[in-house]
Amino acid sequence: MSSDVEDLILTFSCDDKPGIVAAVAGLFSLQGFNIRESSQFEDVHAHRFFMRTLLESVEGPKRISDVKSAFQSVADRYNMTWNLCDNRIKPRVLIAVSQWGHCLNNLLNAWKGNSLPVEIVGVVSNHEEMRALTEWYGLPYHYLPVTKDTKAEQEAQILEVMADTQSELLVLARYMQILSDNMCRELSGRAINIHHSFLPGFKGARPYHQAYARGVKLIGATAHFVTAELDEGPIIEQSVERVTHANSPAELVQIGRDIEAVTLQRALRRYGEHRILLNDKKTVVFNR
């Protein structure tokens, strides 16, 4: 793909101070860009400013390296953590799964229908159950079995697949293995998990049975970035569904799986559209 671009997405965060938006808008006006969409957020407690902007060139194609060089002066002035990317390029994603395919199937169906703004490049798994589904969608399936003694080796293989496929994100679509601390550090900000519960409640195994035992009236699911602290990563997306005393544990499991699939797809869509910015242990998610 040509390095000349017409549509760009800028995301950044920095300490809040006067003049940030004016400086950004002024710079891109001078570079011949129009702002098509812009979202901002000020964290008044952390004194941090967050912004996502969709830019359109009104002067024809621009070389992205030149635009980045021009923006560097503004970024340095405000000490920004920033990213400027070509809106045509979809993030490359590798999916990890174990034995349940509801989240995987939902993602692959959305991807195949061009409604998910990412490029899924393959699936890794510690089981063989999802091979047929994956290959039906024309994607490579990497069977990487794991035991307690081979965990480090298997995680190295996952990282190798990510490198070979140039994947920037690993999506844990009900991958029932806890990543090691080293793996979590290696993939900091680059791995998303779907947790089968509305965090922070009902962690660990059999959350829907825990919910049934407590007689809850709402069940849900949480998509979050992976960290070494189990199920404590920055939350990206959450969904809930109302239930009653009449729902059995099996019904709660089925309702929960539907919620998980929808929640993970929403989180991945936000990622593909560059709408997620990390804010310490939280996220800023710019929805439409």
What is the per-residue burial (b if ≥16 Cβ within 10 Å, else e) of 165-196?
bebbbbbbbbbebebeeebbebbeeebbbbbb
Taking alpha carbons only, the member of 232, 274, 288 closest to residue 13 is 274
Placement of tokens 């959305």 in the chain: 110
The number of beta carbons lying within 10 Å of the beta carbon of residue 224 is 21
Mode of pairing for the β-strands spanning 169-172 and 92-97: parallel
**Is the CB of residue 262 less than 8 Å from the CB of residue 239?**
yes
Look at residues 249, 196, 244, 258 and name the one whose alpha carbon lies nearest to residue 224: 196
Task: Confirm whether 15 is a catalytic residue.
Answer: no
- CA dist., res. 114 & res. 249, Å (int): 35
- How far apart are the two ends of the chain, measured CA to CA in Å? 28
Catalytic pick from 86, 164, 231, 258? 231
Paired tokens of 175 = 């991958």
Residue numbers annotated as active site: 231
